[in-house]
Every structure is written in structure tokens, then in C-alpha cells.
Structure 1
Amino acid sequence: MATSWTRKKGTRRVTNGCTCSTSYLCRDRAWRRGGVAEHATCVASGTWTTTRKKAFVPRNVCLDALKVSFQGVPGAYSEQAAKKCYPDAEVVPCPDFETTHKQVADSSVDRAVIPVENSLGGSIHVNYDLLMKYRLHITGEVYHKVRHCLLANPGVAKEDIRRVQSHPQALAQCDGYLDSLNDGVIKEAVDDTAGAAQGISLDKDCRDTAALASSLAGELYGLDLLDQDCQDNDQNLTRFIILSRDPLAISEDKEYKTSIVFTAGDEPGDLFKALSVFALRDIYLTKIENRPIPQFIVESMDNEDLFQNLFYVDFKGSLSDESCQNALRHLSEVSAFMRILGSYPADA
């Protein structure tokens, strides 16, 4: 479901599925009279209403009955992350990231586990854009260590390998290893790591080609493990976020992160003013990402009123913390648009 943008006193507003007075989460009187605190109470209590004014209480879904979507074919690193979050859930593969989001939005599945950044490759920009397109909430995060394995058909020796297939990022992360393998091998980019393993398994005559993928992919597709930990840097971590249709009720006994997106003006010092609301309250920022306005939003906006950039920020703290509420209230006074993406337990 696309996010709707509506003219509001010279700004644009966005709804987030909540009908407390802060539902548009932008610069408005509701924020200045304490609307941030009202929205935080709404989320923290676990009870809110949809934009159709129907009372809605989160479902008590048994975790082993959950359906969780991920991008890729079975054996993908995203599947490993999904099973790490929900070991007993039914995992549902999706061909692309947008389908992963859509399945949560249309209630085909209960959760999605998607990657947003890698310690070596950086941010996965398409997923930041999709956070603006779908009215989903971030309800958790997990860091997953990526361990690339060299996989080939049964009976193929490591010395026989002349070509290696994998996702471009995986090939780049193993560049040094591949250059030294058999005096250098041909690197072939494919759509995803597990897909490379699947493709090789379907061609039993493929005796000179290997895949870089997870050990799970090797097990699923009956491939031999020729080598493991092929990445050049052992500190290869991918951060995944969990998406849900409903925000998470806040517990007081956990360390939390909160993710937001906002715009800053184009005058000197505008970004400084926006970020200073956190510094003034000693709130620790764990990430800031600058992205252009997605095309699907640009098409619905007036040319003379386009926001130049979106800033995605993660910080330590929850919506129940008074300092965070005050910071968000202050930010709403200096930013034309802001939206809370989620407040969730931080992965240790």
C-alpha cells in the first residue's frame, strides 16, 4: 500500500496506521502540544486504531504459526536470518524485496526479515526506499555473520574449479580468495548466492564451476563443501530488520533502538538544527542515511514543493523515554516531515 501524502499548512503529512492526534507525524500543532507523548503511549500500550477508525488490538499469534517472508530462494542468507529470529516459523521465499514487503502489507505473511546494511558493502538502498512505500513497522533487528562457502557438484575437486558464480557483493567480498584460487578463476555474477547454488545443482555435468553461498544452500541442493569462510574480511556482518503490520508494544526491561525518517531544509544549518535535537539530550545516533526522495513519492508532489532529501536515523532509546519524546517533538518543529518507522529491542 503506497504511503499517502497530503497538503497540510505548507507541509506534507503522512499517516502511519495510527489515529492518535500525531498520525501524520509531521510539523503540526498536535506535536507541539504533546502529541509525541500521546503517540508513544499508543504504541507502548500495544493498542491503537487503524486509519479506518476501527479498534484494533494486536493478535496473539503463536510464534510457531508465524509465516515469515524473505528475499531469495531457499538457502539464502536472508532465510538463515529469518530462522534465527523465528526458528519455528514457516519461511516464505520471495523473488524480490518489493514482494517481500507486499506480502506483509496484504497479510499473506506475518513478518518479513530484510537486510538493510552490511559491514563491508554498506547500505541496501532499495529497502530504505521501500520503507517509505509500505506502511510497515520495524519491530526488531538481528545481526547475522555472513560465512561464504565454496560449493560444487558431488565429486568435483577444488582443483577443478575454473569459474565461480554468486551475487556481485559476495564475489567482491571474496575477491582476494578468488584471485588466489587455482591462479585465479572467472567470476560470474548472478541474482543471489543461493540461486547460484541451485543453478549448479540442476546441471550435473557442470564440473568446473562452483558457487559462493551459505552452508545451508549446500545442504539443500546436495552440493559438496569445498571450502568455507572464503570472505577476505572475517568481520562480515549483515544487519536485518523485522517488519510487521503492527508496531511493537514497548517493554521496560530491554535496550531499544528507534528508527525515524525526516526531511531537512536546504538552508545553511538546517541539518545541524535537526540533528542537534539529539545531541542536546545526549541521545546516541547509531546510523544516519541520506537518500533522495523515491520516485513514487516525487510523482505525487508539486514540483515547487519537493523535499530534496530524506534522512533515515537510528538512535538508542524507545518511544517511552521522555528524552526521546522531547527530541522528536523538537525535531517536528524544525523539520517539515517526520515519520517514526519503529521502536524495537536492539540486537546485542
Structure 2
Amino acid sequence: MKGRVAFQGAMGAYSQAAIWKFLGRDTECLPCATFEELFHAVLDGRATHALLPVENSTTGSVHPAYDLLLEHPLFIQRELILRIEHALLAAPNTSLERIRRVTSHPQALAQCEGYIRRHGWEAVTAYDTAGAAGQLAESRDPETAVIASEIAAQLYGLQVLDRSIQDWAENYTRFFLLGMQPAPYTSQAKTTVVFATAHVPGALYHCLGEFASRNLNLTRIESRPDRKQPWHYLFYVDVEGHSADSPLRAALQALAAHTTFLRILGSYPAALPGS
């Protein structure tokens, strides 16, 4: 892929693994310390795209990601679904018996919670899986292990003590590829919208009915607090179809009459796990 893709984390993060797998190893990557920074990297021209993790099949939504989608004028151009296989990494010549603690991003620790508990290790949070690997490569602490990708092990010269340590084998993370322009039309699309309703009985029921009455399948719905109005909520919905297709276009036009706020975050090619 031409251009530069911003992602949160250090080189060797799972976001980079997704970029390499789906966009090609020749894609230039821009590591960012925070989700907020990767949005600004696109907006100020340092990157052409951003890759944002939004959901894991084991631990659920990445809530800050959805909040930031609303706050910035980027479009979802594509979804990517990467199978996550966690590895246990340690400094060279370290044995499993010496490990006393394991460090990683909170999502990775949660996805391996049972494995960590069975070994009786202390779980220590880090801002990023690959960043934790880089720190261990510097410290060489023989009592600390890291949960990260095998790509991180290669980049930072760590040994792999164990593989596929996630609690659930079918462990996937969903990413959005973001850009300044909407994605080109595709018939095999999914659309993400966010809306708010008035605080009246049946408001959400009537909104969702506009999709149901047109036989449109919702693949996801989630509420998030509206930070501007306490105890009011925003609803994020994924629906099969493109916003330019007549059934969904009609549903969105009707939805506008039931909402106090409505925004289409993008219509984009739908993905299957590992595709």
C-alpha cells in the first residue's frame, strides 16, 4: 500500500502485524504513543491513514477508540480482522521457572488472564505490548516476561518461552483503517453510524425499527456516554450494506427523523476473520 499508516504502540505491535498482513510489508508505518496522536498524524499530514483497534472478540470494545472516532473528521475506509496469537517472551537464556511477573497492555493481560493465574504470576500493565518487549530487551530482567507478538520477539531479540497463550483460541481483534476521504463504493459493504435520541419512551425502538422494517441486519450496537450531556448516550451501530444502497439510504433518511444527532462514520468493505 502506498502512503504511511499511523498506529498506536511501538514497532512490533499487533497493529503493525495487521498492517503487514493486510496492506503489505512494504507499507510505511508510523508508531504513535496514543490513539489521539494517530488521529492527529493523519490530520496534520504526517500519515495518509491510521489503523485503530476498536474491538476484540474476547474482551470487547476499545471504548476510547469509539470516543475518538466521534471527535475527529476521519472516515472509516476498511475493516481488518486479525487473529491474535499471544506469545510469552523473555530475555535470552531465561527459563519459565524463573518468571515471577508478566507485563503487557491491559487488553493482552485480560486475554491471557487464565494462563497468568495458573502460573501464579503478577500481572503488570504497560502502555503497549511491543513497548513492554522493548523495555525488557533493555532491562534483561530474568524474572519478568512479556506478552506480545512473535514479531516483537524478533525485533527486540527476545526468546519465545510459550506460544498461543491466550485463553481462547478464537481470539480476534477488529481494526478500522481511517483516512481523510470516504472509501470507494463496494457492494459487499458494512456501514457504521452514530446517533443520539431524545429522552422519551420508545426512542431507540423506533430508530432500530427503521433498519428492521427494511430487512437490514445490524451486526453490532453499543452505547457510549455523551460527554457533553450527563446521562445522555450515543449509539454506535454497524449495519450490513452501503449508505448509497437504496434500502440503507432510506433507513438513514428515516432515522434522521427520530434522532437529535446522526453521523455516518463510513461505508467500507466488510471483512471476514483472517481475510
TM over 0.5: yes
Question: Which range is displaced more, 239-248 or 171-180?
Answer: 171-180
Query: Residues of 1 paired with 2:110 and 2:194: CA distance?
Result: 30
CA contact under 8 A between 1:263 and 1:307: conserved in structure 2? no
Specify the alignment match of 1:152 in structure 2. 90
Letter in 1 for 2:7: F
1:173-226: CA deviation from partner (whole Å, max 9, x where unpaired): 212212223xx122212112111111110013x112111111111010000011
Whether 2:212 is the aligned partner of 1:279: answer yes
1:269-304: CA deviation from partner (whole Å, max 9, x where unpaired): 01101110000000000111101113xxx2xxxx7x
Q: Which of residues 235, 238, 241 is equivalent to 1:314?
A: 238
Letter in 1 for 2:205: F
Letter in 1 for 2:95: A
Query: Residues of 1 paired with 2:208 and 2:59: CA distance?
Result: 26
What SS does structure 1 have at the residue aligned with 2:260? Answer: coil
Percent identity among equivalent residues?
A: 43
Whether 2:39 is the aligned partner of 1:104: answer no
Query: Residues of 2 paired with 1:124 and 1:251: CA distance?
Result: 27
Q: Which of residues 106, 129, 142 is equivalent to 1:168?
A: 106
CA contact under 8 A between 1:144 and 1:238: conserved in structure 2? yes
1:141-191: CA deviation from partner (whole Å, max 9, x where unpaired): 01111111010111111222121111222222212212223xx12221211
By how many angstroms is 1:76 displaced?
0.7
Query: Residues of 2 paired with 1:66 and 1:332: CA distance?
Result: 36
1:50-99: CA deviation from partner (whole Å, max 9, x where unpaired): xxxxxxxxxxxxx3x31000000111111111222321210110000000
Whether 2:67 is the aligned partner of 1:129: answer yes
Query: Residues of 2 paired with 1:171 and 1:319: CA distance?
Result: 37
What SS does structure 2 have at the residue aligned with 1:337? Answer: strand
Unmatched tracts of structure 1, length 5 or more: 1-62
Specify the alignment match of 1:197 in structure 2. 133
CA contact under 8 A between 2:186 and 2:242: conserved in structure 1? no
1:224-250: CA deviation from partner (whole Å, max 9, x where unpaired): 011011111111111101100001120
Specify the alignment match of 1:265 in structure 2. 198
By how many angstroms is 1:330 displaced?
0.5
Q: Which of residues 238, 241, 257 is equivalent to 2:176?
A: 241
Q: Which of residues 129, 139, 142 is equivalent to 2:80?
A: 142
Query: Residues of 2 paired with 1:115 and 1:104: CA distance?
Result: 16
Q: Which of residues 228, 232, 248 is equivalent to 2:167?
A: 232
Please tell me whether Structure 1 or Structure 2 has the larger radius of gyration of its CA atoms.
Answer: 1
Letter in 2 for 1:282: N
Specify the alignment match of 2:223 in structure 1. 290
Query: Residues of 2 paired with 1:232 and 1:121: CA distance?
Result: 11
What SS does structure 2 have at the residue aligned with 1:318? Answer: coil
Whether 2:9 is the aligned partner of 1:72: answer yes
Specify the alignment match of 1:57 in structure 2. none
By how many angstroms is 1:337 displaced?
1.4
Length-normalised TM-score, structure 2: 0.95
By how many angstroms is 1:307 displaced?
8.7
Specify the alignment match of 1:23 in structure 2. none
Whether 2:153 is the aligned partner of 1:218: answer yes
By how many angstroms is 1:320 displaced?
2.5
Query: Residues of 2 paired with 1:75 and 1:117: CA distance?
Result: 19
In structure 2, relative to structure 1, the CA distance for the partners of 1:307 and 1:170 (3 Å cut) is closer
Unmatched tracts of structure 2, length 5 or more: none
CA contact under 8 A between 2:186 and 2:268: conserved in structure 1? no
Query: Residues of 2 paired with 1:143 and 1:114: CA distance?
Result: 11
